[in-house]
Structure 1
Amino acid sequence: MSTALPTIPQYLFGVGEPAILILAFLVTSLLPEYYVSSLSKLPSTRSLLATEQIGVYQISNLFLLIAVLSFYILNSIHDAKVTRLFLNALWWGDLGHLGVTTWCLGRKRVWDVGSWSLVVWGNICIPAFLFTMRTLYFLGVFGSNFKA
């Protein structure tokens, strides 16, 4: 597979990240009540309000969109500049995701790691990991940023 990325970032961002996003799409699409209750600590027995359902399904759609874009772009584009710009957009998305998630959870809940649900772990640790890996890529840790 010839792309503009070195091997490790290629598999991480072009294969691993889309797979994780497909899993997130499936969880939010098939189990929206679980997703909301696990993230917000609401009672899992109550039904979601229509606005909550709309929000969860929109998030689900975004997970699928980013998965498809990442897979297609990072596995077919050979232009290093386009690849870097795409990864830069995802880098900012990681920051936004982390910022919004931690802000909404609140300082007390963020620091109470023992109380985190699987959904909270996924919403904090996965973006933090991807943000770190993208930063290392931009710093050239995985080799040349511009593959010939």
Structure 2
Amino acid sequence: MASSLPTLPRIVFTIIEPISLVAGFLGPLVSPQFFAASQLATTKAAAEAHELTATEHILALQLGNAYLLLGFLGVFILNTTLDLPTVRAYLAALWLGDIGHVLITAWGLGLKGTFNIFGWNAVTWGNIGFTVMLFALRSLYFLGVFDKNGAKKGSKSKQM
């Protein structure tokens, strides 16, 4: 199925996004305390000094595990199915997840932290910047921007 996706979405959704999700898995595995503290745009020193509670430690590892699961789902679904509605449903679920991911991160950062992009750390760039890029690409895919006849297909079906 991946070969039937247009080139840019195929590269992003089947290669770049799964790699980024593996990175999201490895972060809390390598340093759960730094990963947890880095969810808010703090300095590296402040993140390293943060002492995790047992609950925070488990939550960081579980979040990393969820990232790995999403990476596996993407690789398996997009590389095995020939059913376009399944691919679209999968991408729609991720599109909705993108909205929640950005909103929850923005809520945690507050208005000032959300719009202080020069103060963002790498985790915040992933949580907001990269996720917004994925959301935009998924939106463009759904709008048919990558289809050679996307606009024509949409207008014909609306007329019928």
User: TM-score w.r.t. structure 2 length?
Assistant: 0.84
**What's the counterpart of residue 126 of structure 1?**
130
Deviation at 1:101?
A: 0.5
Task: Please state whether the residue corresponding to 1:106 is helix, strand or coil.
Answer: helix
Q: After superposition, where does 1:30-69 map in structure 2 within 5 Å?
A: 30-40=30-40, 41=42, 42-69=46-73
For 1:50 and 1:102, the matched residues in 2 are separated by 25
Q: May I ask how many residue pairs the two structures share in their alignment? A: 146
Q: After superposition, where does 1:1-148 map in structure 2 within 5 Å?
A: 3-40=3-40, 41=42, 42-143=46-147
For 1:92 and 1:133, the matched residues in 2 are separated by 13
Structure 1 residues 74 and 48: alpha-carbon distance in aligned structure 2, compared to 1, 3 A threshold: same
Q: Deviations over 1:42-85 (max 9, x none)?
A: 55223210111111111001000000000010011110000000
For 2:31 and 2:128, the matched residues in 1 are separated by 19
Structure 1 residues 2 and 86: alpha-carbon distance in aligned structure 2, compared to 1, 3 A threshold: closer
Structure 1 residues 2 and 13: alpha-carbon distance in aligned structure 2, compared to 1, 3 A threshold: closer
**Which ranges in structure 1 are unaligned for 5 or more consecutive residues?**
none
Quick one: percent identity of the two aligned structures?
39
**Which ranges in structure 2 are unaligned for 5 or more consecutive residues?**
154-160
After superposing the two structures, state which structure 1 stretch, 107-116 or 130-139, moved more: 107-116
For 1:117 and 1:109, the matched residues in 2 are separated by 11
Q: What is the letter of the counterpart of residue 97 of structure 2?
A: G
Task: Please state whether the residue corresponding to 1:143 is helix, strand or coil.
Answer: coil
Contact 1:102 1:110 in 2 (8 A): yes
For 1:96 and 1:124, the matched residues in 2 are separated by 11
Task: Please state whether the residue corresponding to 2:38 is helix, strand or coil.
Answer: helix
After superposing the two structures, state which structure 1 stretch, 133-142 or 117-126, moved more: 117-126
For 1:30 and 1:131, the matched residues in 2 are separated by 28
Q: Which has the higher contact order (CA 8 A, sep 6+)?
A: 1
Task: Please state whether the residue corresponding to 1:25 is helix, strand or coil.
Answer: helix
For 1:66 and 1:9, the matched residues in 2 are separated by 17
Query: Higher helix fraction: Structure 1 or Structure 2?
Result: 2
